[in-house]
Structure 1
Amino acid sequence: MVDGREVELDVLRIAHGGVAVAELGGRVVFVADTLPGERVLARITDDRHDRFWRAETLRVIEGSADRVPHIWADASLDRPPEQRAGGAEFGHIAPARQRTLKEEVLRDALGRIGGLPQDRIAALDPHVIAVPGRHDGLRSRTRVRLHVDRSGRVGPFAARSKRVVPVHDLPLAVESLQGLLPATAVGREVDLVAASSGSFAAGRRDARPPITERVGEREFRLEALGFWQVHPAAPAVLTAAVRAAVDPALLDPDADNLDLYGGVGLLAAALAGDADVRVTTVESDGAASAHAAANLADLPRARAVEARVDAFLAARQQERPGATVLLDPPRSGAGRDIVEAIVAARPAQIVYVACDPVALARDLGTFAAHGWQAVTLDAFDLFPNTHHLEAVARLVREE
């Protein structure tokens, strides 16, 4: 048993999930709060696995030139690991290096998980693009979920645990949320939300009226605690990215174009644009689907369907092939059954919006096995100071 043992580690590369990779005696060690090129003193926290161990950084012995003072004092190495706030696992890394590390994870996933050949990955040349906002990535979240411990104290969970860490500062939250941070609360969670129509704090069971978000000239109504992109620039960035990804030569306005996992209609509106395009947005959440119907009411050929995506695809009567299919699945991805159902519908092009590089790579691999290849792939740094990214890929069938 080596759990709790302190060791010196040379950090080799980055891994998915915001941790880095070192080796100890031929065994992989996933170590938090560091980055490639560093030598750190770390404590082994999990030695139960045959193939790998986990560790936490205690002190930097030889630092990287890309290490910066952590953007959140409550998550820095100055605190014991068990008292470090989670949610900013890249906060000690210079912003430009954060993006290159995310690119490395994306490229590795495409090859190792998706099975894409290296020449295909090279042709895609995926880069993680900075988005409008502060260079340091601070004040970049309009939604923050905090947790409440048994004593009523409020804060994020400690990294990789369910232990609440009380905090007095939320540097990633937009300014209007900072003043809403409560010291104590009842219940299990507190959501802080900054919407176009105002900012508020609410528990999960609080009954609040719907809110409004504005993207360009269009307004979107949604439930107060319903899903919406957290970065202030994200809705506009993804709207532009989807429009750029769609090949107009392959977009048939009269085809049975689809927006799967459509939420309140943001990307269906992007697909329709100002053109007379027929599009159906599919969403399993009843409230979100109802809002989508209202949000798209001014687009005469847009409609919203409340249904699970798998059930919808299995039951639909396709009127004509050659559709543009847009999908924005949850973090777990679409999965084999959904991919195969989309392929069976004989679309003209597929635009895939993803928030997890591993799930994206897995699904792109499944598409590739059915003759569909990604021809464009752009990624966006919509979650700065974390390991997360958002990606938009366009797929076409190989002739």
Structure 2
Amino acid sequence: MSRRAGRRPSRPRAARGASHVGERHDVVVGPVAHGGHCVARLEPGPGDERGRVVFVRHALPGERVTVRITEGTDGDRFWRGDAVVVHEPSPHRVAAPCPYAGPGLCGGCDLQHVELAHQRELKAEVVREQLRRLAGLDVDVEVEAVPGDVDGVRWRTRQRYVPLPGGRRGMRQHRSHDVVEVDECLLEGPASDHVVRGVELSVAADGFWQVHPGAPEILLDTVLSWLEPAEGESALDLYAGVGLFARFLADAVGSTGSVTLVEGSESACQQAALNVPDATVHAGDVGEVLAGLPADPVDLVVLDPPREGARRAVVEAVAARRPRAAAYVACDPAALARDLAIFAEHGYRLERLRALDLFPMTHHVECVALVVPDAGS
């Protein structure tokens, strides 16, 4: 399973007044938002002149639906809910291909009720909005289909079920510990090998590897073609996993160049040492490792952080080494936007962006960003 793919069920929190869970309200659904839902407002009430914001799952912008509140108390800034009746459907609405997708069922997919091409349009809108709001960037975004799935399903090369008595299995509901029994997950596909560009990489049985079969090749092609590594250059691969990028960076920079990997997982570092034997491998928290290394200049940097992003300490440590280019692989557009804003503080600008649909039927989207020094910085 991807180190990014899962989300722990939400923790119970103290109520902030009377609960409204179970209430039903008719709403007109507003724009898509980051996180697999759309924004709607309830009719204004006492002390609430604009109407309560509700994040609605299983809906589409412009639809008129009945929403059932799943989380919400008087004191909350917003509530959450499911669209349980669709009165005026969007033209982009389709029947979910999986029988376990829908309100109160498996929480793994957010967008099975949306035609596949429109899923990508919604994801592009989210990426654009996050970049605009958090980084002040106005970027044209298109989310690209990636070969390897079957009409948006059968792409998860690793899948984890909740074991149930009698050999049965299940999946968790959205933001819940409750389990829905399933026969299978429609996203599950054949297990993949770890061969990229004809090279078989060593990966532990429970180690991190991209779950979409088309991901390693397209991510590697994008990163290398944008960085254009040359003989004799130095490269830093952060959150390096088992060394997918480092393996081919090492080939490009040759014996006169150097590649240094930093990865938090000891097991992944062991695999990386096998996959990139000429590289220097550091195990540990990326920020702490960088803080303990000399801030010598490097030519190239690759960052492939987990969902929370690289964050300030790591971005500043990268910028301090003044690379001529850095490729940032991001599975969360909000984290990417925040980190791009920090890069901008230190004289780096977004040069190119590519968005890839590596997680069809879910709200997740993978982006690759190229940052380079501002002219004159």
CA 1:14–1:133 in structure 2 vs 1: closer, same or farther (change >3 Å)?
A: same
2:34 pairs with one of 16, 23, 28: 16
Normalising by structure 2, we get a TM-score of 0.87
User: Is structure 2 residue 71 aligned with structure 1 residue 46?
Assistant: yes
Task: Tell whether 2:321 aligns with 1:377.
Answer: no
- Aligned counterpart in structure 1 of residue 128 of structure 2, from 82, 103, 107: 107
- AA matched with 1:60: V
What secondary structure is seen at the aligned counterpart in 2 of 1:195?
A: coil
Q: Is the 8 Å Cα contact of residues 230 and 252 (structure 2) preserved in structure 1?
A: no
Structure 1 residue 170 corresponds to structure 2 residue 185: yes
Gaps of 5+ in 2: 1-17, 45-49
Question: 1:191: which partner in 2?
Answer: none
SS at match of 2:222: helix
Identity %: 44
In structure 2, the partner of 1:144 is 159
Q: Partner of 2:314 in structure 1?
A: 338
Query: Which deviations, in whole Å up to 9, do the C-alpha atoms of 1:310-360 show, x marking residues without a partner?
Result: 1221121245x2420111011110111111111111221111110111111
Q: Is residue 2:246 matched to residue 1:282?
A: no
1:188-215, Cα deviation, whole Å (9 max, x unpaired): xxxxxx232xxxxxxxxxxxxxxxx111
Number of the residue aligned with 1:203 = none
Matches within 5 A, 1:285-324: 285-297=265-277, 300=278, 302-319=279-296, 321-324=297-300
- Answering whether residue 185 of structure 2 is matched by residue 233 of structure 1, we say no
Verify the 8 A CA contact 1:257 1:324 in the aligned structure 2: yes
How far apart in 2 are the matches of 1:142 and 1:151? 25
In structure 2, the partner of 1:366 is: 342
Over residues 53-77 of structure 1, what are the superposed CA-to-partner deviations in whole Å (9 max), with x where a residue is unaligned? 111111111111111110211113x
Q: Cα deviation per residue 1:278-307 (whole Å; 9 max; x = unaligned)?
A: 21111121111111111123xx4x332223
How much does 1:268 deviate?
1.2
Partner of 1:181: none
Equivalent-residue separation in structure 1 for 2:96 and 2:26 (angstroms): 21
SS in 1 for 2:310: coil
Amino acid at match of 1:70: A
Amino acid at match of 2:120: R
Equivalent-residue separation in structure 2 for 1:163 and 1:149 (angstroms):
12
Contact kept? 1:242, 1:270, Cα under 8 Å: no
Which of 295, 298, 301 matches 1:325?
301
| Distance in 2, Cα, partners of 1:57 & 1:28 | 14
Specify the alignment match of 1:85 in structure 2: 106
Q: CA deviation at 1:162?
A: 1.3
The corresponding residue for 1:205 is none
Aligned equivalent of 1:67? 93
Aligned partners of 1:269, 1:339: CA distance in 2, in Å?
A: 23
Structure 1, unmatched stretches of 5+, are 177-193, 197-212
2:54 matches 1:29? yes
Please show how residues 193-272 of structure 1 align to structure 2 within 5 Å. Answer: 194-196=191-193, 213-246=194-227, 248=228, 251=229, 253-272=231-250
SS at the partner of 2:218? Answer: helix
In the TM superposition, residue 274 of structure 1 has moved relative to its aligned partner by 4.5
Native 8 Å contact 1:70 1:92 kept in 2: yes
Is this contact kept in 2: 1:71–1:91, CA < 8 A? yes
C-alpha displacement of 1:255? 4.0
* CA displacement at 1:150 relative to structure 2: 7.4
**Shift in Å, 1:46:** 2.1
Q: Distance in 2 between matches of 1:44 and 1:333?
A: 31
